[in-house]
Structure 1
Amino acid sequence: MSIALLIAGIALLPLGSNTLVSGAVAMSERLGVSPLLVALTVVAFGTSLPELVVCLQAALTNAPGIAVGNVVGSNIANILLILGAAAILKPIACDPRTGVQDGLVMIAATVLFGALALGGVIPRWHGLIMLGLLAAYVVFAYRREAAGPHPGDTHLTEVEEFEGLKNRSWAVIIGAILLGLVGVIAGANLLVTGAVDIARSLGVSEEVIGLTMVALGTSLPELAVAVAAAMKGQSDMALGNVVGSNIFNILAILGATAVVVPVVIPDQILHFDLWAMAAVSILLIPIMLTGRRIGRVEAGLFLLAYGGYTTIQYLGVEHILGRLAGA
């Protein structure tokens, strides 16, 4: 039953998210909002909604390991799994100009998360600061893109993925938004309930389930988008989407969750997984600064690294670290 709940939640989350975003994009276009602003706000927030609702559900049900593990595990999966899968299909190129800016913002958000996590808990006022920094980043990104030679062009494909309802009636659009919201909330509830039950029955920590099963489940929409973009010859979009998603996961998801309920940082995540996320994030910076492509060799190494990270989680991080310290 727990596995069935987990699978149902993983299936329902992206379906609800896509339905909600499609309705919200259609509403925004009816109201005359520019594609650039729609991409940076409606699409960005909508596609991150599964992570947000899962984190809120987990935090409110006293499962901080799943809440924090979801964010940390998603950021690791975004880089190693999603970029690896996309680059296997087609090598990913990077624009150094935007890479420097967005990459540094991602690293700054990661450092901020690490600094706040050292206290063992992220209180509400820290969450408000994180949301304020997110708003500043969105304004910065909008002004940068709007001042470019082709404002909004880089985001047209991103918005077009969710334009299926733009010619439908207002009743259909509003119904899609409400139905999608219900789907995301129900999916998050099923996912968290199933994940907690599995963790207890297998005798593994909630952190491990959050860092692996839950993180992978909430990252499936990004994985599907990255693979679809690569198959269309637009694999370079995957890098920008991953960096943006990692920024949103830290500032928006953790920030909003902390505002609702202070976020407790589990010891394992504080001592190991937070540093693993930082190391993986820093791994991208030389690629983004130089404009070097992520080829199939690098992609294979990314996928192997993600497989190794997942294996370490189930073998027991504390056991492995203890043996290394003893050696």
Structure 2
Amino acid sequence: MPPVLYLLAGFVLLFFSGDWLVKSSVQLARHFKVSTLVIGITVVAFGTSAPELLVSLRAVFDGAADISVGNVVGSNIANIALVLGMVAIVYPVKVIKKTVWLDWIVMMLATFGLILASSNFIISSFEGILFIVLLGVYIIWAVFNSRKQGKSKEKIEKPSLSLVKTVLLFLLAAAGLYYGAEWLVIGAKDIATRLGVSERVIGISVVAVGTSIPELATSLIAAIKKESDISIGNIIGSNIFNIWAVLGVTSTIKPINVSPSIVNYDYWWMVGIAILLFLSILPLSKGLVSRWKGGIFLSIYILYIYLLFV
């Protein structure tokens, strides 16, 4: 099969499988009477990071470490500059959580922790375990903080699917993610080889956008319908999970080699865009990412992708 078809098939499978995984995970949580608070912070967050995790694992074991790390870095840049930028152009995005600055600080700690871990151009298993531990602490803090604000008194909804159907959907999603990740990496590697483009560039651009498609599609549809269910907190949380969960789990299983280009160039784009996000939502109590700010984010993303291929 041509590499472009592998790439497209991988995109489609990851898109639907990621959605199925989130839905089945939420249904499973309801079957076991887990609150929506815990579902949102853990199950859904892991579910939306599953495509990145599967792609990164597959890439590392296929000897394409630049696709693995590039996928995470590219996704973190795309979440802010592409997803938030496009959504804000359609429908300005408000700051919903008043504690968003705390989440932003955690995201920056995760980002600089990644930069520090990569200073020797390898993310070791020990550093991966440390990322996972930090993620655990963050989840516990997030749950505790939300309960403190009185959000834990929500009623646990009844599942809309039977347990058997839920398990089958979960297994189907898991299989789809596995093969979707495999086909995406195969297609990306072949295209990079044929075009003479580095795996780093393909990982940061094509693969990263591919694994971010579910978030992008969902957010754009919500914006078109003028539903404010996308929040800055969701994007920040996704970036934290990408570093601590995706790279944490991947490097724990197998240490990841990081190319100097990613460490010395792409990481700093990720930092710069994160700082720009913070500036764009000032004042934090009633910040708004307006259409012109969204235009700036999208323009920066287009410039970054252009410079990658030049």
**TM-score (normalised: structure 1):** 0.90
Decide whether the 8 Å contact of 1:99 with 1:289 is kept in 2: no
Counterpart Cα distance in 1 of 2:176 and 2:101: 37
The amino acid across from 1:50 in the alignment is P
Identity of aligned pairs, percent?
39
Q: How many residues align?
A: 307
Which residue pairs with 1:112 in the alignment?
113
Counterpart Cα distance in 2 of 1:219 and 1:6: 14
How many angstroms does 1:2 deviate by? 0.3
How many angstroms does 1:287 deviate by? 3.3
Check if 1:303 corresponds to 2:292.
no
Which residue pairs with 2:80 in the alignment?
79
- Listed one character per residue, the Cα deviations across residues 1-44 of structure 1 (whole Å, up to 9, x for unaligned) are 10010010011002111112211211110111000001111111
Decide whether the 8 Å contact of 1:226 with 1:238 is kept in 2: no
1:289 and 1:99, CA in 2 relative to 1: closer, same or farther beyond 3 A?
farther
Q: Map 1:3-14 onto structure 2 (within 5 A).
A: 3-14=4-15
The amino acid across from 1:282 in the alignment is I
1:102 and 1:12, CA in 2 relative to 1: closer, same or farther beyond 3 A?
same
Bigger mean CA deviation after superposition, 218-227 or 254-263 = 218-227
- Give the unaligned 5+ runs of structure 2: none
Q: Which has the higher helix share?
A: 1
Counterpart Cα distance in 2 of 1:88 and 1:184: 31
Aligned to 1:119, what secondary structure does the other structure show? coil
Q: Map 1:42-57 onto structure 2 (within 5 A).
A: 42-57=43-58
Which residue pairs with 1:170 in the alignment?
163
How many angstroms does 1:256 deviate by? 0.5
- Listed one character per residue, the Cα deviations across residues 236-272 of structure 1 (whole Å, up to 9, x for unaligned) are 6331211010000011000000001101111210110
Decide whether the 8 Å contact of 1:103 with 1:288 is kept in 2: no
Decide whether the 8 Å contact of 1:103 with 1:243 is kept in 2: yes
Which residue pairs with 1:293 in the alignment?
288
Counterpart Cα distance in 2 of 1:231 and 1:238: 15
The amino acid across from 2:21 in the alignment is L
Aligned to 1:118, what secondary structure does the other structure show? coil
Decide whether the 8 Å contact of 2:280 with 2:293 is kept in 1: no
Decide whether the 8 Å contact of 1:93 with 1:236 is kept in 2: no
- Give the unaligned 5+ runs of structure 1: 316-327
Which residue pairs with 1:312 in the alignment?
307
Decide whether the 8 Å contact of 1:87 with 1:235 is kept in 2: no
Q: Map 1:17-166 onto structure 2 (within 5 A).
A: 17-95=18-96, 97-151=98-152, 166=159
1:129 and 1:198, CA in 2 relative to 1: closer, same or farther beyond 3 A?
same
1:282 and 1:152, CA in 2 relative to 1: closer, same or farther beyond 3 A?
farther
Decide whether the 8 Å contact of 1:24 with 1:177 is kept in 2: yes
Counterpart Cα distance in 1 of 2:153 and 2:62: 41
How many angstroms does 1:225 deviate by? 2.1
Bigger mean CA deviation after superposition, 111-120 or 228-237 = 228-237
- Listed one character per residue, the Cα deviations across residues 116-157 of structure 1 (whole Å, up to 9, x for unaligned) are 11111010010000000000000111111111144477xx9x
**TM-score (normalised: structure 2):** 0.95
Pairwise CA RMSD of aligned residues?
A: 1.8
The amino acid across from 1:271 in the alignment is N
Counterpart Cα distance in 1 of 2:102 and 2:183: 38
Decide whether the 8 Å contact of 1:64 with 1:265 is kept in 2: yes
- Listed one character per residue, the Cα deviations across residues 25-84 of structure 1 (whole Å, up to 9, x for unaligned) are 111101110000011111110111000000000001110110000000000000000001
Which residue pairs with 1:196 in the alignment?
189
Check if 1:2 corresponds to 2:8.
no
Which residue pairs with 1:226 in the alignment?
219
Decide whether the 8 Å contact of 1:2 with 1:198 is kept in 2: yes
Decide whether the 8 Å contact of 1:82 with 1:226 is kept in 2: yes
